[in-house]
Chain A
Amino acid sequence: MTTTYTIPHLPPHKIYITHLPALSSAAFKTFQRELTSSTSPPSSEYAFLDASVILSTTHLLAAVFQAVRNELVSGKRRTRNVHSEVVYCLGGNNNIKEAYKRFGVTEETKDVIVIKIAHGSGEYWCEREEVGENIRRVIGEEGVMEAYGDGVARRVVDVEKVKRYYKIKADGSQTKGIDALGISALEVEVLGKMVGRVVG
């Protein structure tokens, strides 16, 4: 199942998010081949994330938002395309390779989040149905597709790993435990680390 989002403060776009709870390594390799091939059209571009290091929908969308702003608004994209930019933005620093190692899909990944960003027109635009069909084509009839949301996030996230990656101290400070409206204290800290790269 694919969930569609539109984020405010961005040019026209659609974001399609799908959860693959049991992606086979064969299927992932197919994705990867299409992804990295220089002859592949933009329609085969995706971002693949390890769901165990994503706190919530907010955390995920914050990375997507940054990536789309870099692509469409400020022109500051540092990586191959807007999809790889999502992984880069999750990292919160200038190390692209490390961001892929931490937030991308590896041998150990059990739950995968697939993100497709549609924007502009022509080959950069696509509808939800196409995304679903495309994923289905690769994972086969027996592959499982789920909607991703905060329920899934809570189930699969490894909070300690997230804290470690973002260097969030366990003891915390006074702000620990102070939520913002609509965002938990931990999410606030993570978002803060993600702007760290921009702000320096």
Chain B
Amino acid sequence: MSSIEIDPQTPKLLIKQGAEALVYSTTYLLPHIPALLKHRPSKLYRHPTLDARLTKHRCLSESRLLIRARSLGIPVPAVYFVDESRGEIFMEWISGSSVREVLDKVLAQEGGEVVVDRMMVKVGAVVGALHAADIVHGDLTTSNIMVRNAGGSELAGSGEREVVLIDFGLGAVSTQDEDKAVDLYVLERAFTSTHPKAENLFQDVLKSYEQSFKGAKAVLRRLQEVRTRGRKRSMIG
């Protein structure tokens, strides 16, 4: 009787330590399946009952958004496994670079904006699809939009690299134009702060967004308002 002994020594490698969650690179089930593990550790400062309630709620809410988005065809990481009581989500490992990294690299070169033109169209369409599904991201920076490496996707063969939205930790379901406009506003600030040339690129994102769903025009009008006031509120002492 022969046997195949599979005993993967899979260390998890901490790749990001946010305020709320620890993010590890690891594997799921088998050594050839890379995965991302997002762990919300319990907070000592919180009452244990409150802590358990929040951890569970956030873990489930983030997973639901990802599953909902993916089932609607919006490119987000696939959810593999959720342990809401321990605050763990195992999800698809997206191999690629963030839009921020791509812009930093490409825009440093002369005429580089032409190269990323197609990418901008995709970003606009993907954000539009998300908003059409009444999901808002909550922290839509260029660091939270990934571009898959060729090979991670069947589409890559046609020379099209897929754009993927990541980190839905602050995401929510919302039908409000205001919330969607704030997503775009945050993205715009992220673009314009990257590079002077990126400002024009963002116009391509908006053009593509505008055509992506019925309510887009209303959101763009709202974006005008958000731009003029920032998110500034006056404060009474």
Contact = CB atoms under 8 A, between A and B. Distances in A.
Interface of A: 1-9, 57-58, 61-62, 65-66, 69, 73-74, 76, 128-129, 132, 145, 147, 173-175, 177-183, 185, 188, 191-192, 195-196, 198-200
B32 interface: yes
A1 B71 contact: no
Contacts of B82: 195, 198-199
B15 to A, nearest CB: 15
Given A1-B1, A4-B3, A183-B78, 7 more contacts: A4-B6, A6-B6, A7-B29, A8-B27, A65-B29, A147-B2, A181-B92
Given A58-B33, A192-B67, A6 B75 contact: no
Contacts of B79: 191-192, 195, 199
Given A4-B3, A192-B71, A180 B92 contact: yes
Given A9-B26, A175-B75, A178-B154, A195 B33 contact: no
A181 B162 CA distance: 14
A135 to B, nearest CB: 11
Contacts of B155: 177-178
Contacts of B67: 192, 195-196, 199
A178 to B, nearest CB: 6
B177 interface: no
Contacts of B28: 8-9
A195 B28 CA distance: 14
Contacts, number: 123
B19 interface: no
A188 B78 contact: yes
B152 A181 contact: yes
Interface in B191-213: none
A145 B67 CA distance: 38
A62 B30 CA distance: 10
A178 B75 contact: yes
B71 A132 contact: no
20 contacts: A2-B1, A3-B6, A4-B4, A8-B26, A9-B28, A65-B81, A74-B83, A128-B3, A129-B1, A147-B4, A175-B70, A177-B155, A179-B152, A181-B33, A183-B33, A191-B79, A192-B71, A192-B79, A198-B84, A199-B63
A73 B90 CA distance: 15
The 7 residue pairs across chains A and B that have the minimum distance between CB atoms: A174-B73, A173-B73, A182-B33, A8-B10, A180-B92, A188-B78, A61-B29
A178 B10 CA distance: 26
A178 B35 CA distance: 16
Q: Which of A8, A62, A188 gathers most chain B CB within 10 Å?
A: A8
B95 A181 contact: yes
